[in-house]
């Protein structure tokens, strides 16, 4: 690709996908055997010293970069998908999901505009809502994790509660001398508290208090938000599904 007269072409490869897969796939196939799940931790010093290098003057190139990926990165991944792994709440993707992610990265790398990938995201969100027996008029978004989901849920609850009083806080901000209250169970973890600040007074004029409506064993954290300390009418429930 030529950017201007006299400028060298960009050597970044945007084709040869099959060649790239041929270099990396054997390492991925071997990884999925989970033959030694503790090896990445034991060999940490070796792969860290190999990978943590100063900024190079010139790139390694297509084959060299992918070969390094196959030799040093893939074998030292995180084995959350290994049978019996109980060290964290997530697991590895299925094969079809991993390939679908690759397809989306190549064929639809941007979330804007019109594409079949964007349609499938909306369809899958609708299916997820139906699976969780949520009302059909609700919509949602995928988030990067629980922390982001908590922030989105707090923002949505705040907006919905104040809109019921005719206030668009996203556009106009909080009215003067107005406070809110977030009611959550005692099991609301550090993520939720960090999202809002201290347990007493949190960001954007909200006050956190515990609620007996939800027990520590509940899998769905819930927040009940009122747009004033007088708590007029029923609260606005917002749930974040993890």
Render pLDDT for 15-64 as a digit per residue (tens, 0 to 9). Answer: 899 999 999 999 999 999 999 999 999 999 999 999 999 998 888 889 99
Phi, psi angles (nearest 5°) of residue 160: -65, -40
Phi, psi angles (nearest 5°) of residue 30: -65, -40
Which two structure tokens, joined as six digits, stand for 100?
């679908």
* Whether residue 232 sits in one domain with residue 151: yes
- Average pLDDT of the residues in 148-158: 81
Q: Domain limits at 212?
A: 146-239
Structural domain tally of the chain? 2
- Average pLDDT of the residues in 158-182: 82
Q: What's residue 208's pLDDT?
A: 52
d(CA 146, CA 240): 8
Q: Is residue 230 pLDDT above 60, yes or no?
A: no
Which two structure tokens, joined as six digits, stand for 232?
């007029």
> What's the pLDDT band for 183 if we cut at 50, 70, 90?
low
In this structure, is residue 177 part of a structural domain? yes
The residue among 71, 92, 113 that closes a domain is 92
Do 181 and 209 form a contact (C-beta atoms < 8 A)?
yes
pTM: 0.68
List, in sequence order, every residue forming a beta bridge with 225; answer none if it has no partner: 182, 236
């Amino acid at each position: 690709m030529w950017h201007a007269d006299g400028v060298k072409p960009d050597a970044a490869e945007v084709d040869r996908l099959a060649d790239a897969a041929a270099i990396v796939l054997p390492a991925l196939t071997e990884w999925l055997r989970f033959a030694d799940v503790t090896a990445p931790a034991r060999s940490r010093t070796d792969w860290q010293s190999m990978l943590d290098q100063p900024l190079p003057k010139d790139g390694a190139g297509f084959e060299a970069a992918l070969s390094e990926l196959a030799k040093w990165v893939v074998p030292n991944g995180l084995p959350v998908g290994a049978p019996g792994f109980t060290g964290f709440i997530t697991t590895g993707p299925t094969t079809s999901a991993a390939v679908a992610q690759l397809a989306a990265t190549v064929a639809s790398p941007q979330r804007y505009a019109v594409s079949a990938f964007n349609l499938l995201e909306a369809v899958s969100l609708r299916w997820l809502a139906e699976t969780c027996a949520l009302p059909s008029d609700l919509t949602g978004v995928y988030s990067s994790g629980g922390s982001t989901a908590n922030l989105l849920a707090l923002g949505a609850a705040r907006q919905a509660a104040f809109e019921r009083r005719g206030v668009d806080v996203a556009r106009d901000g909080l009215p003067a001398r107005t406070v809110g209250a977030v009611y959550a169970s005692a099991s609301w973890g550090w993520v939720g508290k960090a999202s809002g600040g201290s347990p007493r007074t949190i960001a954007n004029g909200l006050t956190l208090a515990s609620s007996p409506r939800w027990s520590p064993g509940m899998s769905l954290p819930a927040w009940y938000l009122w747009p004033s300390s007088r708590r007029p009418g029923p609260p606005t429930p917002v749930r974040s599904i993890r």
